[in-house]
Chains A and B, each alone.
Chain A
Amino acid sequence: MLRTARRRRAKDGGVWYPRWFWPSFAAPGSLWLLVLFAVPFYVVLSVAFGTVDPIFRNPVPVWNPIQWYPGTFRDVLGQIFGTNAFLGPPFLRTFLYVAMASAICLLIAYPVAYYVARYAGRRRGMLLVLLIAPFWISYMMRMLAWVNLLGNDGLVNRSLTSLHLVGHPVAWLSGRPITVVLGLVYGYIPYMILPLFAGLDRIDTNLLEAARDLGANRARTFARVTLPLSKQAILAGMVIVALPMFGDYFTNDLLSGSPKTSMIGNLIADSVGTPGQGTNAAVLVLILTVILIIPMLYYVSSTGRATRERSG
């Protein structure tokens, strides 16, 4: 007993705790997530590979993996990739919209974060508060604001017609990809600015001065020093906006509402609510999870690495 105590003491930097002490703190949260976050994925698997009640049309999960029925899964895959692939376009569209929206987010967020990190001076605190403000404004309210502005008699159409840029009001809110993409940008860009700001703020200004001293001009300093050093932040920012965009359906519903712009999120949201489509919804959720697993693992491992580096 004494020897174990001494060994643990040496490992923990001189402090002794009973073995169960720290695990007991983490246990409630861990169990909560185990029951309501991890186990649910098994339930989704059981529903996706389960059957449908012939009368009530609700999905019947099959708990035993040996008896799993892959029919629905195969059907859905066929609808995405097969000859009669009516689910294919929404999948492609999702990738296209998310790629465009994340790229626009980066193009806008990078200069903003760069300015605040490097040049804001005394106004830095105020600017940070203004940049964080959208976090505190409900997402739905921000979308509602655009629904108001982009309506047929909304302010955007009125200014455009009064300036004679367009003859009659543009129907921004009925199935226009550009509205959906810009809506996604507007909705998620604050999530990108903050990691970018943190990353750019960490860059040692001595390195920039060294580059200037060695004869690099502004553009070269930026391209050879600042940009490479902010690569991690850029990747993290892209992942952190792209992940929720993949699961977004409400932006699309509010700003377009047309099947012409529907995305994977819309497919899931629509099939969850439709009787007899529950199994399809489960399959689509599984497919979306598989698609997103690589960016999610990238984000988790990069934050894990950052934590380890900081804790030494």
Chain B
Amino acid sequence: MSEVAARSPMGNRFRNPWRKPRILESFIWLYLAWSILPVAIAVLFSFNAGRSRSTWQGFSLRWYFKDPVLSVWHDPNLHTALFQTLRLAALTTIIAVPLGVAFAIGIDRWRGRIAATFNFQMLLSFVMPELIIGVTLLFVFANLLSFVHLGTKAQFLGLVTFQVSYPVIIVRARMLSIGKEYEEAAMDLGASPVQALRRVLLPLLYPAIFASAVLVFADVIDDFVIVRYLSSDASTEPMAVKIFNSARASPTPALNALATIMLTTSLLLIVLGYVGYRFSTRGERRGAGPGFGDFAAEL
């Protein structure tokens, strides 16, 4: 060992088991730069004073609301898109999360072949590419459930179908880590199944429910394929579709501004979700309590 060290200091350094993994470390910083810088640059250019999305011409809020025609605030197209996105996200979250949570609780205890089949169906809907779900639903609304017209209603039905598996998976993971002991203790102490569920299990599930609501909301904001196929006309096209339609066609920084607004909405939501998560896990805090990492891990 010492011979090797004497012969080559480099070899010695490589033999040290506690050597810092500098190459790996620089690799991860490069990765982070690659993953975040392009978006940061796009955000930066939403504040550009000129029309260019690659030459900096000074700071301005022109593309947000100052420009009387082309800004997000004054362009009725972009305006409608923003509200369509938020409407769909809220509607979908309100329905998909309770459906998913109830499903997770039920399927966790319901044994047998029918339960296994429904569980399989749910997992399959989780991994099915969105394009397949979107196109199949388009055929359904055109041929079978033709009373559902394309537009907000069809988009909502499609989004819930696509999103319902997320709360199921998050809540089931949480239920596995909780175990059944608390509920059984409650019932040994005389609670009925419904009471045990409401007073014991549900409060324990709040963090997971919260996390899945945040996830579903943010995922709907991000959704593109389903909302595009199931939209009726320009008035029901949400933000992601607008970005897609004009990214290669009429590029003004207003598009960047719209995307930045989407980004800010998601980030606000996470902060809100994190606050809610801290609140709903306040009984579990030891020392510093669950940090953002735990919240992220819940997702």
The closest CB in chain B to the CB of A272 belongs to B135
Q: How many residues of A are in contact with the other chain, CB < 8 A?
A: 108
B176 A145 Cβ-Cβ under 8 A:
no
> Assuming A41-B136, A247-B131, is B158 touching A36 (CB within 8 A)?
yes
Q: A203: shortest Cβ distance to chain B, in Å? A: 16
A33 B263 Cβ-Cβ under 8 A:
no
B139 A40 Cβ-Cβ under 8 A:
yes
Interface string of A107-142 (1 = CB under 8 A from B): 010011011101100001101111111111111111
The closest CB in chain B to the CB of A50 belongs to B143
Determine chain A's interface SS by DSSP, over half rule. helix
> Assuming A43-B136, A119-B21, is B270 touching A136 (CB within 8 A)?
yes
Cα separation A111 to B29 with both chains bound (whole Å): 11
> Assuming A29-B100, A30-B121, A114-B24, is B129 touching A23 (CB within 8 A)?
no
A129 B106 Cβ-Cβ under 8 A:
no
Cα separation A142 to B183 with both chains bound (whole Å): 45
Q: Does B168 belong to the interface (CB within 8 Å)?
A: yes
> Assuming A15-B187, A138-B240, A272-B135, is B121 touching A144 (CB within 8 A)?
no
Give the residues in chain B near A131, CB-CB below 8 Å. Answer: 32
Cα separation A27 to B107 with both chains bound (whole Å): 9
B143 A24 Cβ-Cβ under 8 A:
no
Cα separation A251 to B107 with both chains bound (whole Å): 36
Cα separation A44 to B36 with both chains bound (whole Å): 40
Q: Does A186 belong to the interface (CB within 8 Å)?
A: yes
Give the residues in chain A near B267, CB-CB below 8 Å. Answer: 136
Give the residues in chain B near A38, CB-CB below 8 Å. Answer: 121
Give the residues in chain B near A52, CB-CB below 8 Å. Answer: none
Q: Does A304 belong to the interface (CB within 8 Å)?
A: yes
Q: Which of A189, A243, A247, A249 has the most CB of B within 10 A?
A: A247
Q: Does B110 belong to the interface (CB within 8 Å)?
A: yes
Give the residues in chain A near B10, CB-CB below 8 Å. Answer: none
Q: B278: shortest Cβ distance to chain A, in Å? A: 14
**Known pairs A23-B115, A119-B21. 20 more at Cβ < 8 A?**
A15-B180, A15-B184, A17-B109, A21-B193, A26-B106, A29-B118, A36-B157, A37-B121, A37-B133, A40-B133, A41-B136, A59-B139, A115-B28, A141-B263, A151-B251, A158-B54, A186-B34, A254-B248, A282-B139, A300-B127
Q: 17 pairs across A/B with beta carbons < 8 Å?
A: A18-B193, A28-B102, A32-B164, A34-B121, A36-B158, A115-B24, A115-B27, A132-B299, A136-B266, A143-B247, A144-B255, A212-B17, A239-B127, A248-B129, A268-B131, A272-B135, A296-B124
Return the 8 tightest CB-CB contacts between A and B, nearest first. Answer: A247-B129, A25-B106, A26-B106, A29-B103, A247-B131, A125-B293, A40-B136, A141-B259
